[in-house]
Amino acid sequence: MIGKNTLLILGAGASMDYGFPSGKRLIQDIINLLHGNFYHFSTSQKKIYVALALQRYYQNKLETANVLGYYFEKVEKFINALLHASPASIDDFIDKNREEGFDIIGKICIVLCISSYEKTGEPFFIQGEETSPGHHYYTDQEEGIHRHWEIKEGWYGHLWEKIYEGNDTSENLNKFTFITFNYDRSLEYFLYTCFINMMGKSPQEAAKLLNENVVIYHVYGQIGYLNWQDQGSVKNDYMRMPIEPVIRRLKDMDIAPGSRLLIGRETIGGIEGYLDLILSLANEIKTYTQAAEADTASISGRAASEEVVFFLGFGYHPQNLEWLQKVMVNSTTNIKIVTGTTYGLGSEQARSVAINLRKVWPFTSIAYMDERYTGHKIRQFFSNVYDIM
């Protein structure tokens, strides 16, 4: 049984147990999407795809658009700027760079990259490993396929154990509030699949339980809402974006980077729906400025009732702390302790984190966030430092 109302604030590190990228890795993925080998298509084909989506965006917004070659040059300008910008995050890059169209290109790339890690049916609980001779699972009868399954020690599993302990899972669920700075929906998908496969709930029952009891606020938006979620008008399955049909059509028509093609005058049979899908998802992504201007009354009200705050896999970026300071302004009365992971930080960085958090919660205990605990990842932090109670 969960005894205290608990707020979990999640950074990129919170999804890394399950293969999702850190903030720096996401920049790297976007660079390799447009300038390398991320996705199995040529860089030219991927740039044309993004250029087509950008052209479609302006056609939908202005009812007119330039030729494809113009937008291809925009995409090339975007990737060349990103290569030399050295941003702390892709959010910083698209928020601060005011070149027209860069924000849309960046959001399209975020959707493509993050969705590539969302895989329907892939278990969160186990992972495949190579089986070497001498291992207790090794056998010559495997006909050359020497792989076995090992249990992942991710922190979602620990959270799930806390939720299903006791008789009232809905009450336990309702004790948690999540504020995430991530675009992925791995936590929502994980809880949904666990209720179906562990608790024997039907998909409809699992959806009802989660919709009624779980609050997950995505500060910078997300790549759509899962089909079973009540909120959100833009739905998107937990899977990689289907860009293959568009690429295939481009190859069939032999479209080159400098093409003078205009969507609306020359229709590329049937791809408009795919482009509109990715644009609808890109529109769900927020820059820092957009996040700061969003209505946060509901999450601010919910946060005011919390007693314990955990920062998990969080980078403590100043602008994110500034956002939290505004949202948590009425939360200082009930909160007894603020703690969280500082994995990989140096001693001076850890001290700075504690100082900055006191600006958000000046009268609350900021605990276990000094250099003694910078070697603990999330699961280790719960086991060895401070646990959910």
Position 38 pLDDT exceeds 70 = yes
Q: How far apart are CA 330 and CA 135, in angstroms?
A: 55
Angle between helix axes 203-213 and 186-197 (nearest 10 degrees) is 130
What domains lie within the chain, and their CATH numbers?
6-19+152-221+296-384 (3.40.50), 39-116+240-282 (no CATH)
At residue 143, the pLDDT reads 62
Q: How confident is the model at residue 152 (pLDDT cuts 50, 70, 90)?
A: confident
Neighbours of 84 (CB within 10 A): 6
Q: For a pLDDT cut of 90, what percent of the chain falls above it? A: 68
**Nearest Cα to Cα of residue 116 among 19, 249, 213:** 19
Q: Report the range of poorest mean pLDDT among 77-81, 82-86, 241-245.
A: 241-245
Antiparallel, parallel or unpaired: β 126-130 and 147-151: antiparallel
**CB-based burial label for 215 (10 Å; 0-12, 13-18, 19+):** middle
At residue 263, the pLDDT reads 59
Position 342 pLDDT exceeds 80 = yes
Q: Give the strand order in the sheet containing 176-180.
A: 215-218, 176-180, 6-10, 308-312, 337-340, 365-366
Position 98 pLDDT exceeds 70 = yes
Position 166 pLDDT exceeds 80 = no
Helices (H) and strands (E) in the chain, counts: 16, 8
At residue 57, the pLDDT reads 95
Average pLDDT on 335-354 reads: 94
Average pLDDT on 347-354 reads: 93
Position 154 pLDDT exceeds 60 = yes
pTM of the predicted structure, to 2 decimals: 0.92
Position 140 pLDDT exceeds 80 = no
